[in-house]
Amino acid sequence: MISAILVVPVDLRERANFLALCLGWGPDSYSVPLTIDGETISHFACRADVTESFLAMISDASNGIFPSIPMTPQEISAVVVGLLSDFAAPGQYESARSHFEAAIARHGLAPL
Amino acid sequence: MSALLRLDQAHRLFYGADELSAVYRDGERLWPFGPDLLYAGGGAGFVIVPEIGGVFTDTAGTTPASVPSSLARVNDISGNGIDVTQATAAQRPVLGRAPVSRRNAIANSHVADAVLLGTVAAAASALDNGRTIPMERYTSTSTPATLVTTGLHKTYPMLAGIEWTISAYIRPLANRYIYFGSNGAGGQSNVGGIIRIDTTNDSIALVRTFANTFPGAYKIQNLGGGLYRATINGRYTSQTNSKTISVWCSDQLVTTNTTATFNVFTQAPNGPFDAGGWQYEEGAPPELNPDPTPWQHVGAATSDVTEEDTPDFPLIRFDNVDDRLIGTLPGAVSGDLVIAGKNGSLIESVSLASGSAILVGSGCPPVAARALIAVGDLVGAAVFNKTLSLDERDRLMRYFGKRGAKGLYQLGPELLTNPSFDVAGGAGWTTSGLADFSTPGQVRIADVAATDGAISQQVMGVAAGDLICVEYEIVSENSTISNSFRVRFGASLGSAGDGDVLIGLDPVGVNKLYHQARRDNPFMQFLAFSTGTEVVLNYISAKKMTAGAIP
């Protein structure tokens, strides 16, 4: 399995959660508040173990090939364009938490 | 003389020739002990233990989980029916398994991760003391007269200051020399060393070390039949994420090498060679003792560890980011929270209102969420509406210990100077911004006009890798977000290199956090981070934690 850190801006959270729900991930996937300025929530994150097929789906969506779900291509595309993602192979980090901390730091984000 | 039968310490019981599965008196089970017995008579609370209560991949509890699937539901075994569930896939913890003595922490320990200038194929497995060791065959595709190193590589985790021991099995076949390194060949930086084994006489030589990283030892074992096991132990002083074990064989003699990389081979291996049975262990180097520790198989997830001829037990791994299991408490509880893990166990006092959500994992009341970081993979957890007696604690820890938990954490002596601010002027503490010690026995820390207020102290007597319990009493605070007040660990005053623990939502009263030191003697800072934040503390205490023995 591949460790995935997925981050969306606040204004995309609802749509990203709906996309995840459509993909069978359940409700409220993006639940970890993050901040740029240390004061306000700017993004929400989730961490999950994903498969190669998930990476392929993200790649396909970036190339205009969208999964068959009750969202328009424009809605899906908006999430994919705004999505910050970071993937790590098994063993690349000492723990999932280490991966999370490194990934959000790369984007100038911190937990709130 | 009368004989005493200690049922609580019995592993197996017989009635005549028949082995008993349980002992009852007046309809009440006396043996075997389980945490559910502590609820006899109807105490509130819950117990989750992955192997007994039932673990499922769906919230309805219809599909049993198997390793390494994610968990949507874990059933309560207390009899109170407080099952915990998670409907969101990304927030589900993972079911794992491990022997009581888990050592190998390397994912996919049966295969290499990378092949340099060659191909890899399956090879006949090896035997070490009757235990099967999977092997792979490496065949070089490099050409002569090319400055290359070739071979098999295996990634392993690396945390600053953590002592490690790496090992692998090698069949050199027609090659005279084995080279075994604690970093990848052909691009290594500065960790560990490289040893050379001459298979004509089993002599061993150290051909490369790297600055400030190789205080450990190395060893080679000739296991017969052309099979060797090589081991290197070391400790790396700087933070990184991972390094690479490397194995390559050759007829070419390399005596020493001090260049930046080890690309000194001018000929390909003299035919294929085999390697496998990769192992990475934290801590002292048991591999270097006369009886090396057996190889353990680790699956694609490092929470899936098995060992031939050794029983393993289920565990639950949380990612400590967003994983959590949720239940609802039907009645108020005031008593002990027990969290038993592979690294150690904790018992904390909790008070939970009737109808409140019970969270296991991220989002728990701070003490419980942070406890998971301290205890590691979860062997079991329980909440009791009472304070456990010493005898009950011992029985409970024996129960969890048999399933792979380590004993209750013991606290060492105080590591801070002037922890309760009794010495005038905050002696021992360094301040920045507004940090006011004018009230004896207290400190007031505030962020005024966007200038962070902070107090700092270097925590002496700590080695990288040590677990520290930081306890602090908040007298008053006005923070409304977790980010506003934090504890920061780093290499120097104010340095955030080792991460922040956000405590802005901690309630007034005594609170705790746990931190695994990433360096010797780290600096610790209590920091008012957001404008207007003001916190008054009564004391700050820092003590090393050591997992005690199972009673």
Q: What's the confidence (pLDDT) of residue B187?
A: 44
Note whether residue B7 is domain-resident: no
The size of chain B, in residues, is: 551
How far apart are the C-alpha atoms of B217 and B206, rounded to whole Å? 10
Q: What's the confidence (pLDDT) of residue B349?
A: 87
Q: How far is A104 from chain B (nearest CA, A)?
A: 12
Of A38, A96, A102, the CB nearest to B320: A96
Using one digit for the tens of pLDDT, what is the confidence trace for B181-211? 887 654 444 556 788 899 999 998 888 766 5
CB pair distance less than 8 Å for B301 and A90 = yes
Question: Both B465 and B508 in a single domain?
Answer: yes
CB pair distance less than 8 Å for B319 and A28 = no
Domain range enclosing B65: 28-96+314-407
Question: Both B418 and B354 in a single domain?
Answer: no
Residue-wise DSSP of B81-148: ---EE---GGG--EEEEEESS-----TTTTS-SEEESEEEEEEEEEEETTEEEEEEEEEE---TT---
CB pair distance less than 8 Å for B91 and A111 = no
Q: Does B106 touch chain A (CB under 8 A)?
A: yes
CB pair distance less than 8 Å for A93 and B241 = yes
Structure tokens at A19: 């996309």
CB pair distance less than 8 Å for B321 and A1 = no
Q: In terms of CA atoms, which chain A residue is nearest residue B94?
A: A49
Note whether residue B105 is domain-resident: no
Question: Both B175 and B234 in a single domain?
Answer: yes
CA B171 to mean position of chain CA atoms: 32
How far apart are the C-alpha atoms of B139 and B117, rounded to whole Å? 9
Note whether residue B8 is domain-resident: no
B527-545: b (≥16 Cβ within 10 Å) or e: bbbbeebbbbbbbbbbbbb
How far apart are the C-alpha atoms of B123 and B421, rounded to whole Å? 65
Contact, B67 vs B97, CB < 8 A? yes
Question: Both B403 and B417 in a single domain?
Answer: no
Residues of A in contact with B450 (CB under 8 A): none
Last residue of a domain, one of B385, B407, B429: B407
pLDDT band at B162 (very low <50, low <70, confident <90, very high): confident
Interface test with A, best of B58, B59, B88, B317 (most A CBs within 10 A): B88
pLDDT band at B500 (very low <50, low <70, confident <90, very high): confident
The total number of structural domains that make up chain B: 3
pLDDT band at B291 (very low <50, low <70, confident <90, very high): low
Question: Both B171 and B288 in a single domain?
Answer: yes
Contact, B328 vs B473, CB < 8 A? no
- Can you give the CATH number for the domain in which B244 is found? 2.60.120
Q: Does B463 touch chain A (CB under 8 A)?
A: no
CB pair distance less than 8 Å for B483 and A111 = yes
Q: What proportion of chain A, given as a percentage, has pLDDT over 70?
A: 100
- Higher-pLDDT residue of A35 and B5 is A35
Closest CA to B520 of B470, B465, B467: B465
Question: Both B164 and B286 in a single domain?
Answer: yes
How far apart are the C-alpha atoms of B318 and B324, rounded to whole Å? 7
Q: In terms of CA atoms, which chain A residue is nearest residue B243?
A: A92
Question: Both B357 and B421 in a single domain?
Answer: no
Note whether residue B294 is domain-resident: yes
Q: In terms of CA atoms, which chain B residue is nearest residue A49?
A: B90
Question: Does B308 have pLDDT greater than 70?
Answer: yes
Question: Both B387 and B428 in a single domain?
Answer: no
Q: How far is A31 from chain B (nearest CA, A)?
A: 7
Using one digit for the tens of pLDDT, what is the confidence trace for B266-286? 677 888 999 999 999 876 655
Structure tokens at B447: 């962020």
Question: Both B268 and B386 in a single domain?
Answer: no
Closest CA to B515 of B462, B456, B477, B461: B462
Q: What's the confidence (pLDDT) of residue B381?
A: 92
Q: Burial-class residue B423 by CB neighbours within 10 Å (0-12, 13-18, 19+).
A: middle
CB pair distance less than 8 Å for B321 and A97 = yes
In the three-class reduction of DSSP (H, G, I as helix; E, B as strand; rest coil), residue B286 is classed as helix
Question: Both B203 and B268 in a single domain?
Answer: yes
pLDDT band at B366 (very low <50, low <70, confident <90, very high): low
The size of chain A, in residues, is: 112
Mean pLDDT over the full length of chain B:
86
Interface test with A, best of B321, B377, B451 (most A CBs within 10 A): B321
Task: Count CB atoms within 10 A of the CB of residue B81.
Answer: 10
Q: Does B481 touch chain A (CB under 8 A)?
A: yes
CB pair distance less than 8 Å for A27 and B319 = no
Last residue of a domain, one of B407, B430, B450: B407
Q: What's the confidence (pLDDT) of residue B114?
A: 83
The total number of structural domains that make up chain A: 1
Using one digit for the tens of pLDDT, what is the confidence trace for B447-463? 998 899 999 999 999 98
Structure tokens at B93: 């913890």
Note whether residue B22 is domain-resident: no
Question: Does A42 have pLDDT greater than 80?
Answer: yes
Domain range enclosing A25: 2-111
